[in-house]
Amino acid sequence: MKKFNWIPEESIKVSVKPKVKVIAFGDGYEQRIADGINNQLREYSLSFSGDEADIREIDKFLTEHGAVKAFGWTPQDTWQTGTFKCEEWSITVNGYWNQLSAKFQEIVA
């Protein structure tokens, strides 16, 4: 498994949506349980800025993985390498200095 080594801009957005199973009863009472042992995986919204060649390299890496192959990455909030996929990213071309925005989803592989 390849490792993603580019460093994103300082501001990152971390989202967590725990997966739960809910059983609703007729009187408004709910019973909730965790859905699986890895039910709190994180999603990161990231931005990378750089010249055209740098952004092209990141795009090439993500394209090679194509949301199918996982890659290793170390997020700045935990500093622990995890396994991720990237299903969507976009590039903003601003002349010489470009920007790539991506969403990395933590997975269990």
Helix (H, G, I), strand (E, B) or coil at 63: helix
Helix (H, G, I), strand (E, B) or coil at 58: helix
Residues in the chain: 109
| Model confidence, pTM | 0.86
Domain residue ranges in the chain = 13-106
Q: How far is 96 from 72, CA to CA, in rounded Å?
A: 29
Q: How far is 55 from 42, CA to CA, in rounded Å?
A: 24
Q: Residue 109: its pLDDT value, please?
A: 78
Q: Kindly report, residue by residue over 76-100, the tens digit of the pLDDT.
A: 999 999 999 999 999 999 888 999 9
Band (pLDDT 50/70/90 cuts) for residue 26 is confident
According to DSSP, the β-strands at 20-24 and 42-51 are: unpaired
Band (pLDDT 50/70/90 cuts) for residue 101 is very high
Q: How far is 60 from 28, CA to CA, in rounded Å?
A: 51
> pLDDT averaged over the chain?
94
Helix (H, G, I), strand (E, B) or coil at 23: strand
